[in-house]
Structure 1
Amino acid sequence: MRVLVAGATGVVGHPLVGALRARGHQVSALVREESRARAPEADAVVVADALDHEALSAAVSDVRPEVVVHQMSALRLLRDDPPGAFALTARLRTEGTANLVAAARAAGARRLVAQSIAFAAAPTGDPVLDEDAPLYVDAPDPGWASTVRAVAELESQVLSASPELSGLVLRYGTLYGPGTAYARTGGTAQRVLGGKFPLPEGGAGITSFLHVEDAVGAAVAAVESEAIGAFHITDDEPAPAADWLPHFADALGAPPPRTIPAAMAPRLLGWFMAHQLTTAAGASNARAGTELGWKPLRPSWRHGLGEE
């Protein structure tokens, strides 16, 4: 098939291009001008900004994809400009998705696969949730509420694009592996190594992890599948912070995280991370197994988290 990967220089997008080509697909990589030098080896490289409707439409039309894969974000900017990274990612999830849907339809694509996140659900009291759980669009933190609303809009646009353009959303878990914040050189790992990532008392928040290789594998499965809808793409072991954070520190060779009162966590860690460590729910991947036919090759974060 002719496949276009938008966001082809990202942590998932870059290896996805190679994985799809290895499966025999003709793959075009869509990149921004300033990222052209980091483009993966592809059958074609097309250049456009997803926020430029006309340029994006022309670029997509040039390669006439049958399937378009949306892996776009601006999270590469997190270390230097966290507010800017989240704001631009929100625009890519809203304006960028609208432009990509329109371009895909105009080019005659029949399928759209888009990345989302598996940790945007509202905490309902259940420790692990499926895809039907409501998203946390009314989170008390304005920044996180804005992020989740952008995620909800992306998913709505993809899943209701048109009868001719079938949509599938991959809700990735918290990514670990090369190029992520949880890699040994990543931002989260560096905070743990520096003793700057404490564990709120109880550590009851649940995280569902996902290795980058499994994110790529799920995207390949989605391209080749006829399934539609939203799917949690996570490993098989949702884990409370009280389990994974000490393990992560030990794997890194860092000191054990110090314990702090849960009430101090938002001030020391920020609202979102405090939420993840204290109240967040995990995500069940059962639907991806039954309807998408995907299972993680790394079923547990215990084998790899902090080791790469």
Structure 2
Amino acid sequence: MRVLLAGATGVIGRELLPLLRREKHHVTALVRRPDSDLEADAVVAADLLDAPGLTAAVAAAKPEVVVHQVTALRPVSGDTRWEVFERTAHVRRVGTANLVDAARKAGARRIVAQSIAFATTPEGGPLLDENAPLYVDAPDAMWSMTVRAVADLEATVLGAEDIAPIVLRYGSLYGQYTQYDASGAIGQAVRLGRLPLVGDGCGLTSFVQVRDAALAAALAVGHTASGVFNIVDNEPTPAHSWLPGYAELLGAPEPKRIPLELGERLLGWYGAYQQTGQRGADNAKARAELGWRPTVSCWRDGVCEVVR
């Protein structure tokens, strides 16, 4: 099939591009700037926020399937944390709408888009499925903005019923080029003893190895299913387990324990919430309806490979 991959140079795109080509798809990489190092069948350049330019680029690719893996989380020099998340929210809202419109105009018959599995309201649990409401009214302005943009992205994609939409809600990504890489932001914070364990540490994180996330996207390209699917590993893990365990694997100091109030001051609202209140995600629907299964069932097994 002819596939347009938007976000081919991102964390997922790096893994997904060779997977799609290995399956004999003709892959056109959509990037903001031409990149001669991409091993794609073709490359087109456009910004998701430039609707006319994007429409022309997508039309040139003549895709049967459009895969949306674009975020704007890579900081630009001088950016504040708020600016990074605000820009990503804008891309999720406006850029996604532009891409869906361009895909439709180009005659695509399917769209696959990424979302996040940890944006659900922390009610019930401990594991939440795809029917759980999104946390759009979170008490933190930055997280509320993020989740509202995720909700808009999902509504835009799922509203394109004429092009068989599918949304993949990835868990917390770990592996090469992610924050949880040993050289990533979280890996370095743990290595240096700068990521404390907050409160009771009972908040659950559903991880997924980045290659497993890419495998799910590759599977979705040729599948007939539509709707929302959690793409997470089999063992959602509380912070009081994964954080000290990760420190041990890195040969780092044991994380200091601090109260919730101090955790919110040091890590921000979301950093403390992840460790104390976040729910895990259930992958049963993806297993049953997509036939997807993580090749790495537990974060520890995958992180061991990175650390060694």
Normalized against structure 1, the TM-score is what? 0.96
Distance 1:125 1:289 in 2: 22
Deviation string 1:162-209 (CA, Å, 9 cap, x unpaired) is 3x2110000000000000000011001111111110001310100000
Q: Indicate how the Cα distance of structure 1 residues 38 and 133 shifts in structure 2: closer, same or farther if over 3 A, else same.
A: farther
- Aligned pair 1:110/2:112, yes or no? no
Distance 1:37 1:157 in 2: 29
**1:40 Cα shift?**
2.1
Q: Any idea what SS the aligned residue of 1:28 has?
A: strand
| Of 79-88 and 96-105, the range deviating more from structure 2 | 79-88
Structure-to-structure mapping, 1:203-218, within 5 angstroms:
203-218=201-216
Q: Which amino acid aligns with 2:21?
A: R
Match for residue 199 of structure 1?
197
Deviation string 1:115-139 (CA, Å, 9 cap, x unpaired) is 0000000100321100100000000
Q: Which amino acid aligns with 1:86?
A: F
Deviation string 1:60-83 (CA, Å, 9 cap, x unpaired) is 000110000000001122896322
Are the aligned partners of 1:79 and 1:187 in contact in 2 as well (CA < 8 Å)? no
Deviation string 1:39-64 (CA, Å, 9 cap, x unpaired) is 52100000000100000000000011
Q: Any idea what SS the aligned residue of 1:101 has?
A: helix
Q: Any idea what SS the aligned residue of 2:55 has?
A: helix
**1:268 Cα shift?**
1.2
Distance 2:148 2:241 in 1: 30
Distance 2:245 2:10 in 1: 27
Q: Any idea what SS the aligned residue of 2:35 has?
A: helix
Q: Any idea what SS the aligned residue of 1:37 has?
A: coil
- The total of aligned residue pairs comes to 305
Are the aligned partners of 1:177 and 1:183 in contact in 2 as well (CA < 8 Å)? yes
Q: Which amino acid aligns with 1:63?
A: A
Q: What do you get for the CA RMSD once the two structures are aligned?
A: 1.3
Are the aligned partners of 1:8 and 1:39 in contact in 2 as well (CA < 8 Å)? no
Q: Which amino acid aligns with 2:137?
A: D
Mark the runs of 5 or more structure 2 residues left unpaired by the alignment. none
Q: Which amino acid aligns with 2:7?
A: G
Match for residue 244 of structure 2?
246
**1:306 Cα shift?**
5.7
TM superposition outliers: structure 1 runs of 4+ over 4 Å: none
Q: Indicate how the Cα distance of structure 1 residues 246 and 184 shifts in structure 2: closer, same or farther if over 3 A, else same.
A: same
Mark the runs of 5 or more structure 1 residues left unpaired by the alignment. none
Q: Any idea what SS the aligned residue of 1:21 has?
A: helix
Q: Which amino acid aligns with 1:46?
A: V
Percent of aligned pairs with the same residue? 55
Distance 2:261 2:129 in 1: 28
Q: Any idea what SS the aligned residue of 2:165 has?
A: strand
Distance 1:305 1:74 in 2: 25
Match for residue 2 of structure 1?
2
Q: Indicate how the Cα distance of structure 1 residues 20 and 288 shifts in structure 2: closer, same or farther if over 3 A, else same.
A: same
Match for residue 165 of structure 1?
163
Q: Any idea what SS the aligned residue of 1:90 has?
A: helix
Match for residue 28 of structure 1?
28
Q: Which amino acid aligns with 1:272?
A: Y
Match for residue 83 of structure 2?
84
Match for residue 52 of structure 2?
54
Deviation string 1:139-174 (CA, Å, 9 cap, x unpaired) is 000110000000000000101113x21100000000
Distance 2:83 2:30 in 1: 22
Structure-to-structure mapping, 1:130-279, within 5 angstroms:
130-162=129-161, 164-279=162-277
Q: Any idea what SS the aligned residue of 2:91 has?
A: helix
Q: Indicate how the Cα distance of structure 1 residues 125 and 262 shifts in structure 2: closer, same or farther if over 3 A, else same.
A: farther
Match for residue 100 of structure 2?
101
